[in-house]
Structure 1
Amino acid sequence: MNFACKILASFLLIFIPSTKGVTPTASEVLGILHHEIVIIPDPPKKDNILHDIAWKKDGKRIIRCINGIITNENKEKYQVFENGTLKIKHLQRNDSDSYEVNLYNSDGHNILTQTFALKILERVSKPVINWNCTNKTMTCEVTQGTDPKITLYRYRISIKEGQKAITYKWTTKPNAPFNCTATNGVSGETSVVDIDCSEKGLDIPLIIGICGGGVFFLLFVALLILFISKRRKQHRRKNGEKLELRAHRSTSEERSRRPHQNPASAPPTAAASQAPPPPGHRPQAHGPRPPPPGHRAQHPQQKRPLPSPGAHVYQQKGPPLPTPRVQPKPPRGARENAKLSSGRADPIL
C-alpha cells in the first residue's frame, strides 16, 4: 500500500467517532409514583478510573461529578454516587423521560455512554369483586393504577384476563373460590372471594315494591274505616231524629185527646157580700154609691195550662161583672119629712 493510502486511512480513523462503550438501545426503567428510584449504569472496566460523571435528561445536563466534586442544579431532586449511579427523589408523572449518562476517565476519554427510558407508574389498588346470583355473573375491577392487568383465577387456573375491569359468567354452580389479581409492573394486588348462591336474597326493587304495596294497603284500610264510621254516625243521627219526631207526635196526640178544663167559678162579689145599711142611714145620693177601693172584689188569677203545639186553643170568656143595685127614689114629701126628723129643734127660751 502506497503512502497516499496510509494517509487516507489515518484521516478516517481520526474523524470517525469511536463506538466503544456505547449502548445501541435505551434500557427501560419503571418508577413508582411519589416514590424514589435508583438508576445504575453498567460498571466500567477495571483499568478505567472514573474521573468525570455527567447525567442528562432529554439532552439537558441535570447533575455532574468531577473528581468527587458534585455540581448539581437541583440537589433536592437528584443525587449521584461515585460509581455513576443516579438517584431521583419524589417521582412525578413529568419525570417520565429519557436519561443519559456519560463516564470519562482521568485522560478525558469517554469510557461509557448509556441511555435509560424512565416510565412512572401508579400503584394498583386492590381489586373489587361483585357477583349476581340471578344473572350468574361476577365482575372484577380496579379503581386506581396505571395500565393495570387483571387476571381471574379459578382452581389456580387463569380463566379470563383484561384491563381495568372484567366480567365472567359461570354455567355451573361455583364450588371453589375465585382469585382476582391486578398488576402493572411496579405493584400487584389480589382479592379472593367465595361465592355462595344457596339462598336467594331479596332484590332492592322487590323490597321497594313490597313496602309500597303495604303502605297502599294501610291507606286503603284507614280510608275504609273512616268511611264506615262516618256512615254509622249519619245512620244514628237519622234514627235519633225519627225517634224524636215519633215522640213529639205521640205527645201531641195525647194532649189533643184530653178534655178541655172549665175555668174556676168566680168568687162572690164584694157588693153581694156587704151587709145592707141600716134603715136610718140610707144614702141620700140619687145614683149608686161605688164600693170603696179597699173593698173591691179581687178575682184570683188562675194559671191556665199551656196548649200543646198540635192542639187548638179555645178562648173562654170570664164570669160577668156584678151590676150595682139601684135604689128607688122616695117621694118628695117623704124626703122633706126625713130631713125634718133628722134635724135638731131650736131650744125654747
Structure 2
Amino acid sequence: MQETAFPADHPKVPLGKIGVLLVNLGTPDGTDYRSMRRYLSQFLSDKRVIELPSLLWQPLLQAVILSRRPQRSGEAYEKIWNREKNESPLRTITRSQAEAIAETFSQDPETQDKVVVDWAMRYGRPSIDEVFARLNEAGCRRILIFPLYPQYSAATTASACDMVFRAQLQLRWQPSLRTAPSYHDAPGYIDALAQSVTEQLEKLSWEPEKLLVSFHGLPRENLDKGDPYHCHCQKTARLLGERLGKSAPPVQIVFQSRFGPKEWLQPYADVTTAELARQGTRRLAVISPGFAADCVETLEELNIGLRETFMENGGEEFTYIPCLNDSQSHMDMLTGLLKRELSGWLETKEQA
C-alpha cells in the first residue's frame, strides 16, 4: 500500500495500514471485591450472555448476585493470578499472542510495514473501544476482527463483534471491516491440538484411560434457538479424536461452568468426572480446546476443581493439558488464518 498524496496544506492523515484486532473474553483488573464486581457487572449485563429483560435481570444482578459472587470469583482468580505482572493469565497470554503474531508479520515481506496487530478484551481492559480507536488513529483504513473463540457462539463471537460495530458508531470516517469466521474444524487447529495432547501425554509416567474434552457450557435453550456452538464443539472433539488415532485414550466430550437453575449443555464436566471415578476410572486427562488461552475456567475450574472432584471420588492420576496459548504451533496456525482472511487487502493500494 502507498500513502495517498494530499495538497501541501492538507491536515496530516495517516493511511495505508491494515489493522488486525484480536479479541478475547475479558479479565478483571484485580481480585479484590470492587475489581471483580466491576468486571462481573459488565459481563453479566451483556444481553448476549444473559438473555433476560433488563427490568427483570438487573435488580437481581445488582442487588443479589453482585453482593456475593465477586468475593467467590475473586478467590478463584487469586489461586491462578500472575503475581509477577499483577494480572490474570488470560491478559498475560493474550498480550503475548498478539506480540508474537505482530513480530511474525513484521518479518514477512508480504505484511512488513503494512499490518498493525493489537488486542482487546470484550469485558475489562484493554477495551475494544480503546484499541479500535488506536488502530483507526494509526491509519488502519481496513481492520480485520479476529475473535479468539474457535467455536462460534452468539454469547462470545457475536458479542465481541457487537462491541466493534458500536465503536464504529463513534467515528465520522469509518474503516472497512472484516470479521473472521470460527475455526473449530480448521486442519491447522486440529493438528495443533493433537500435537499438544501427544506431547503432554508423552511426559507422563502413566497412561490415561480417557481424555475428557471440556468446553465452556451454555444454556440448552441457546442450542434450541439455533446457536451453532454445540455442533462446533462436537465436531472439534470428533476431529481431535480421529486425528489422535486409536493409540490415544478414548475421547469424551463434556461441558463446564454452568450457572443458574436452567438446563445447560450436557454432559456436565463435574458430574461426568465424579461418575467416571466412582465407576472405576483411575487415570484421567482433560483438555479444554474452546479456550485460546488459559484462564480461570481452565486453571482453577479444571486443573484445581475438577482434579479435586476426580480424586475425591476414587481417581488416582489426573493431568490437565494446557491451552495452546502462545505455543509456536498455535501462533503459526493463527498467523495462517489471519493471512487467509487478509487476502485481497494486502495487495490493494489505499485510496483517499
Q: Which TM bucket (shorter chain)?
A: under 0.3
Structure with the larger strand share: 1
- The structure, 1 or 2, with the larger RCO (C-alpha pairs under 8 Å, 6+ apart) is 2
Q: Larger radius of gyration, structure 1 or 2?
A: 1
Q: Whose helix proportion is higher, 1 or 2?
A: 2
